[in-house]
Amino acid sequence: MTEIESPVNKYIDVYINNYVRKFRNFITSNYIVNIGGVAGFIAADDHDLSFLLRKLQTYGFEVTISNGQDTIDEIQVEYTIRGNANDEFFGYKIENFVSTIYLSSKTGISIVGILVMQIISQIMCKSKIVYKAVILDLDDTIWKGTLAEDGIDAIKQNLLSNDAIPFIGFMRFIQALAKELGLYIAICSRNDNEKVLSAIDRLDENEFPLKGQIDCIVANYNDKSKNIKAIAQKLSILTSACVFIDDNKIVRDEVRQNLPEVFVPDWDNHDELLTLLLTCGVFDRFELSLKSRNRKRLYAVLQQEREKSYLPQLLVKVSDDINHVEAMRLYAKSNQFKFSEKKHYEKCRSLIFEIYRSNGENLGVCSAVTYAENKQNIHVLNWAISCRYFEIGLEEYILMYIFALANNRTITLAFDDTGFNGKAIELIDKYKDIFIENDKDGNICFVPNRQSINDMQLNTNLKEYCNG
C-alpha cells in the first residue's frame, strides 16, 4: 500500500483517541499482532487503513496482515505481549458479513479496517476494561422535550409517538449493555431531582426502556462535570471509566474542559451516536460473562447492605487461587485499589476473598492477595480490591488476616503509585503510623501495634465464612 497520509476519518479518530490511547494509560506493554488471511482483501488505495495501522503502531500495536485463501470464515489472530514468554492465539469469527458491510457503509471505513479495529479491541479488552459506565442526559437525549418546560405528560406523549423511535432505539441499546455486560447506567440532568424521580416513576418500560436499569441519578443545576465526579464516586469507579452522552454541545465542551479523561462523543442524531459507539469499540468485551451480568445486581445488594449499616455485617471466605488465575483477572481489572504493577508470580501463593451474605448468597470475588514467604518475612507482591467493595471494612479485614498469617514474622508490601490507585493510597494514609516506607528496596513495611489492631477491628464488621 502507498504510504500517503490520509485525511482523518472521524470514526478512526475517536477509536484511536478515546479508546486505544486511553487503554495505553493503564497498559504500557507493546503488542505484536499478526492478523492472518485478509491481506488479499485490502484495496490499493485504502489510505484510511494505512493511517489506522500507523496510529496503532504509535500506541504500541505493531500489526501485520498476512495473505490467505480466497475464502475466509475465521481470521486467525496471533499476538505477543512484548516481555511475555508465550504467544496467544484466537480465531476471530466473522459472524455477520452484512452487519460488517453496513458498519463499513456508515463510517466510510473498509471492511478490513473495521475488522482490524474490532480485533485490536478484543485484544485490549482481554487485558483491561476501559469504560464501565455510561452517564446520560435526559432532555432531548433519551427523551424528546424538556421536563421543566413541557412536563412529564407531554414527554410521555412524545415517547408514544413516531418521533420517539430513535430515542427508544437508543435506550434499548443501552438497556442491553446494562443487562448483558453489567454496564453501569447513570442519569446526569439539569433538573429538579424530585421531578426527575417522579417522571421516571410514571413511565413504564415500553415508554422508558431504562426503567429498573439506572444505578445512580444526579439531578440539580450544578455543572455537569461536578455531577459526573459525584456519580463516579458513588459507583466507586474512576471518572476515566465514564462515557458521557448529552445532546448539548456547550455542556459537552464544559465536561471536556473540566474532565478531559471522560469520553464525551460528539453527535447530531441518535443514528450517528450509535454508529460511533459501535465503531469505536468502547463497550466491546472479549467474552460474555455471568459475573459481569451480575455486577449491577451485586452493586444494588451492597447498597442495600450499606443502608442497613455503615459497616455491613457480611462474611468473607478465603481460598487458594491455584495458578493465580482469579488473582490475575482481578489485577488486570483493578485500578483504584491495587498495590503494584507486578505481573510475574513465580514461587508465591495467591489467595482470593469472596463475600457472602448471612443467608449464604455469594456476592463474588472481592479481593486477591499474592505473597511470597520465608521463615522471617511475608512479602505481599500484589493486593487488589474490586471497586464494588470499597468502604465496607474489607481493607481492615484483610490487613488483620495478613497480620495473623504472618504469625510474628515481618510484613512488607510492594507498592507502586500508578496515579490511579488513590484508594490504596487512602488506606496507607489512614493508617500512616503503621505503614512505613522502606527506602532500601522500595517496599512498605506493615508494622501494626495494639492500638492499630483495635482501630481496624472497630472499622469492620466482616466475619469469617464457615462452611456448615
CA atoms of 132 and 134, how far apart (whole Å) = 7
Query: Packing angle between helix 270-280 and helix 165-181, nearest 10 degrees?
Result: 30
Domains, the chain? 10-127 (no CATH), 133-262 (3.40.50.1000), 311-464 (3.40.630.30)
Give me the pLDDT at residue 65, please. 92
pLDDT at 308 > cutoff 60: yes
CA atoms of 419 and 443, how far apart (whole Å) = 17
Task: Name, in order, each residue with C-beta under 8 angstroms of 129's C-beta and a sequence gap of 6 or more.
Answer: 285, 333
User: Torsion angle of alpha carbons 371, 373, 379, 380, nearest 10°?
Assistant: 10
Task: Name, in order, each residue with C-beta under 8 angstroms of 467's C-beta and a sequence gap of 6 or more.
Answer: none
Percent of the chain with pLDDT over 90: 68
pLDDT at 222 > cutoff 70: yes
pLDDT at 241 > cutoff 90: yes
Lowest mean pLDDT among 13-27, 30-44, 392-406: 30-44
The answer to whether the CB of 111 falls within 8 A of the CB of 99 is no
Instruction: Please report which confidence band the pLDDT of residue 446 belongs to, taking 50, 70 and 90 as the band edges.
Output: very high
pLDDT at 22 > cutoff 90: yes
CA atoms of 322 and 167, how far apart (whole Å) = 48
Task: Name, in order, each residue with C-beta under 8 angstroms of 233's C-beta and a sequence gap of 6 or more.
Answer: none
Model pLDDT for residues 37-84, shown as the tens digit of each residue: 888 888 888 999 999 999 999 999 999 998 876 677 778 899 998 866
Model pLDDT for residues 152-162, shown as the tens digit of each residue: 999 999 999 99
Query: What are 295's three cell numbers?
Result: 455486577
Give me the pLDDT at residue 1, please. 40
